[in-house]
Structure 1
Amino acid sequence: MYKIICPLIILLFCISCSSETPNPTPTEALYFPPLTGTTWETKTISSLGWNQNAVQPLLDYLELKHSKSFLILVNGRIVLENYFNGHDANSLWYWASAGKTLTSTMTGIAQQEGLLNINNKVSQYIGTGWTSEPLEKENLITCKNLLTMTSGIEDIANGDAVTPESLQYKADASTRWAYHNVYVKLQDVIAQASGQTWNTYFNTKLRDKIGMNGTWIQVDNNSVYWSTTRSMARFGLLISNKGKWENTVIVNENYINEATNTSQSINLGYGYLWWLNGKSSYHLPQSQAVFQGSIIPNAPNDMFMALGKNDQKIYIIPSKKMVIVRMGDAADNVNLALSDFDDVLWQKINALYQ
């Protein structure tokens, strides 16, 4: 009798558990806007369960701090899109150093096409004498050193210039982290390796494939990207999806993982031209000081960032499936890529969903 009852009890228990367990909520599919046109799906604050009362204080702060645009994507859909101070959805604005991440991404594309290897020396692609360093020191500098700001080239006296006479030896490559405009030599590397101009390769391999607009404009010694806010958001969406646009791999996931994680042991808050939040310490541009803690304490620890002069921002937060873009003038009339503005802004953003 026991042998009969026991299996029956077990069977009834399993049926009971099955009937009481709710079906899991289906995960909302990640959305990608069409490559052409203005169509872009949206989500409302209320559908996300966010706090509508927190929206206006956020927008007021952004306008007060000289913003021109602000956009939040969740799962690829627009939740907030606002323009200020005469700017609109069709206006172009500069990315400043936030555009370094475009160069990082293009380097990954060129590598996956077999045109270069980031571990190879820069001079293999653009020839020797591109710096004023002794040849044995110049040949220590790899493409990866340019991606990670560890070239060892003097970073203070020569400003943004990247002519050979301006690129002077400071330390051996890989032994020192210093923010430097020399990363733009990667654009020369890609042009030489691909046999195309930088603009042509960029447009065909990245811009046009994800429906961005915009153009590179030469400013002094730097090539600066200008685009609409939505184009900046498209790029953020691509990177948040590990380099894949819908079913098309633009840049492989392994490279994106490398680019958006600590890339060397000197500045834990830096990847391949991406800034990383939530690390135990970090360096800032024009400083050799080590700062303890997260770069933006109020922001999520898994966030990584494209940051540019006068507070151009792309924040990517994988845990929240969120991409945030801010364009505009300097929040506090200073020329820093990172300032207290970020932390206060994140107080306002957190109020939306906490």
Structure 2
Amino acid sequence: MKSLICLIFFLFIGCKNSSDITEPVNNPQAPNESIYFPPNNSDTWETKDLNTLGWHSSAVQPLYDYLQLKNTVSFMVLYNGRIVLEKYFGTQTAASPWYWASAGKTLTSTVVGIAQQNNLVNLNEKVSAYVGTGWTSETLAQENLIKVNHLLTMTSGLDDSLGDDVSPSNLKYKADAGTRWAYHNVFEKLQDVVASSSKQTWINYFNANLRDKIGMTGTWIPNGNDNIYWSTARSMSRFGLLFLNNGNWNGTQIINKDFVTAATNTSQNINLAYGYLWWLNGKASYHLPQTQVQIPGTLIPSAPNDMFCALGKNDQKIYVVPSKKLVIIRMGNSADGTNFALSDFDDSLWQKINAVIKP
């Protein structure tokens, strides 16, 4: 019971009180309205009537029914920054935090980009220059091949079959860095790179340079070998909105546009559907975690080709669609009883979303 109380306490560190959560403000505007950003010091948020967008209100309830059937707790759709749909299931509310799982990898890659623009990190520098040698079990020559960029792109060459432990004894050579794509928890070493180069804790640097600048709430919670980010769905939406607007938050460039472009486009020639810890739709082929099989076709066929997304265990989702000015959030338990970040659920969900948004 004591550990449960401590966990609940930590989950609400950095989160606003529920009294700060206000109902969205309905403010319909012309179709060519500028992108909207909610204020940093409040969760008051403008909404957009879906009827003014030509969307189909009759398809909303079937979408909600499907989401509820598939163990969803939070679902949001932003159009150009304004809330069009927002639905909570069970005991979840706008003030309730939930875990991002691997969708939070994109938070890590973004902060690495911020550290780069602050001249603290060089993506082409070897990781050992920041964390010291001996952080793997490889030979020094093999280890020195691994650059920051390889951790951002999942091409470290380390053996991905050994589990999530990132202690040196568990980080073993499989291939030269840059020659093999494999989904691996070693990306978390990027947080050590930022901490070392900034001479701050990872959490302090993250909070000051990303979280607080866009009005997010939430905190990192240790979970075994991982640090897992917890926040409300609205905070997750803020992060998606930052990327929808090319790293600019209400006139302030939080992360430079060139990094956003690199992060949300193919980062290497092995897995075309992977950027800097972001998944990419509309590519000719893709690889899934824990496999070296190249699968022909696009990642989520029913979704727009220009969509990029953050995907986490048990179907945590951030979908960003620049061509449609959309940010879509799904939080919850596993849709189909498995813990995969990507599954047939994504395509089925997009079919339901399309029934709402397509004329």
TM-score interval, normalised by the smaller of the two chains:
over 0.9
Match of 1:106 in 2: 111
Match of 1:22 in 2: none
Q: Secondary structure, in 3 states, of the residue corresponding to 1:68?
A: strand
8 Å Cα contact 1:260-1:276 kept in structure 2: yes
Alignment coverage as a number of residue pairs: 329
Q: Deviations over 1:6-61 (max 9, x none)?
A: xxxxxxxxxxxxxxxxxxx8721000000012210000111111111110000000
| 1:171 matches 2:175 | yes
8 Å Cα contact 1:66-1:85 kept in structure 2: no
Q: Secondary structure, in 3 states, of the residue corresponding to 1:326?
A: strand
1:86: how far off? 1.4
Q: Give runs of ≥4 in structure 1 deviating > 6 Å.
A: none
Q: Secondary structure, in 3 states, of the residue corresponding to 1:261?
A: coil
Match of 2:310 among 296, 301, 306: 306
Query: How far apart in 2 are the matches of 1:206 and 1:184?
Result: 17
| 1:38 matches 2:36 | no
1:308: how far off? 0.1
Query: How far apart in 2 are the matches of 1:37 and 1:319?
Result: 28
Question: Which is greater in Rg?
Answer: 1
| 1:219 matches 2:223 | yes
Q: Secondary structure, in 3 states, of the residue corresponding to 1:146?
A: helix
Identity of aligned residues (%): 65
Match of 1:208 in 2: 212
Write the letter of the residue equivalent to 1:316: V
8 Å Cα contact 1:153-1:170 kept in structure 2: yes
Match of 2:191 in 1: 187
| 1:83 matches 2:88 | yes
1:353: how far off? 2.1
Match of 1:123 among 124, 128, 142: 128
Match of 1:270 in 2: 274
Match of 1:70 in 2: 75
Write the letter of the residue equivalent to 1:31: Y
Query: How far apart in 1 are the matches of 2:245 and 2:202?
Result: 25
Query: How far apart in 1 are the matches of 2:43 and 2:230?
Result: 19
Match of 1:139 among 124, 135, 144: 144
8 Å Cα contact 1:70-1:81 kept in structure 2: yes
Which consecutive unaligned segments of at least 5 residues does structure 2 have? 1-29
Which consecutive unaligned segments of at least 5 residues does structure 1 have? 1-24
> Pairwise CA RMSD of aligned residues?
0.8
Query: How far apart in 2 are the matches of 1:302 and 1:202?
Result: 28
Q: Secondary structure, in 3 states, of the residue corresponding to 2:42?
A: coil
Q: Secondary structure, in 3 states, of the residue corresponding to 1:349?
A: helix
Q: Secondary structure, in 3 states, of the residue corresponding to 2:204?
A: helix
Query: How far apart in 1 are the matches of 2:287 and 2:262?
Result: 19
Match of 1:95 in 2: 100
